[in-house]
Amino acid sequence: MSPTVTAALAAAGLTLTWGVLSHNRFVRLGQHLRDSWAGIDVELKRRHDLIPNLVNVVQGYTAHERGVLERVVELRSRAAADHPSREQLARDETKLMRAMKELFAVVEGYPQLKADRHFLELQDELAITEDRIAAARRFYNGNVRDFTVLRDSFPSSLIARLFGFKDKDPGYFELTADAERVVPRL
């Protein structure tokens, strides 16, 4: 076999190996995206399960704050429902967190509620859940960043286009700044 043929076969073999490795990296990052999104989903469900309990405790103390409580319950139901996109979920979660801020503002006017053991336990659970959601969001958004950089960088963009990864846009999961931190620490 001539040196030219050997060099061509070696180049083809290296190109094929690079292509397979790049494809597998896309597949691996896609799985990381699904796994990290599942982490966010679990924590959001945990938050959605805590909110009705918190509303019930607050409701026992604040009979004339019905509007705020009903709004929180309505927005919690909307946020817990299926969403066509992560952007819509983020919008609903932002609205829910703003309503939760209103709820905690109401609580400030009821010292006996702020001292209630059950309320404090729920508030602590919600604070822990908020921290876990923030960590899961950072992890997910880091995976989105890695996937996007790989997808848009040359020469891996060629593999992305060839196998349809170019069409996938996982999108960051972000809330507005005023909805980031809701649960006050008493």
What pLDDT sits at residue 86? 86
What pLDDT sits at residue 132? 93
Q: Is residue 26 part of a domain?
A: yes
Q: Is residue 36 part of a domain?
A: yes
Please state, as a whole number, how many other Cβ atoms lie within 10 Å of the Cβ of residue 162: 12
CA atoms within 13 A on the CB side of 132: 16
pTM: 0.78
Quote the CA–CA distance of 122 and 116 in Å, as a whole number: 10
Q: Is residue 89 part of a domain?
A: yes
Domain holding 157: CATH number?
1.20.1440.20
Q: Is residue 77 part of a domain?
A: yes
Backbone angles phi, psi at 17, to 5 degrees: -60, -45
What pLDDT sits at residue 181? 57
Q: pLDDT tens, 119-174?
A: 999 999 999 999 999 999 999 999 999 999 999 999 999 989 988 887 777 888 88
CA atoms within 13 A on the CB side of 139: 17
Q: Is residue 161 part of a domain?
A: yes
First to last CA, the chain: 79
What pLDDT sits at residue 186? 45
Kindly tell me if the per-residue pLDDT of 77 is higher than 50.
yes
Average pLDDT over every residue of 32-61: 91
Q: Which domain holds residue 161?
A: 13-179
Q: Is residue 27 part of a domain?
A: yes
- The total of structural domains in the chain comes to 1
Quote the CA–CA distance of 161 and 126 in Å, as a whole number: 43
Kindly tell me if the per-residue pLDDT of 72 is higher than 90.
yes
Q: Is residue 7 part of a domain?
A: no
Task: Please answer whether residues 116 and 57 qualify as being in contact, where contact means their C-beta atoms are separated by less than 8 angstroms.
Answer: yes
Task: Please answer whether residues 157 and 88 qualify as being in contact, where contact means their C-beta atoms are separated by less than 8 angstroms.
Answer: no
Q: What percent of the chain has pLDDT over 90?
A: 52
What pLDDT sits at residue 179? 59
What pLDDT sits at residue 184? 53
At position 101, the amino acid (one-letter code) is: K
Please state, as a whole number, how many other Cβ atoms lie within 10 Å of the Cβ of residue 66: 10
Burial of 183 (0-12, 13-18, 19+ CB in 10 A): buried
What pLDDT sits at residue 154? 92
Q: Is residue 5 part of a domain?
A: no
Q: pLDDT tens, 7-31?
A: 889 899 999 999 999 999 999 999 9
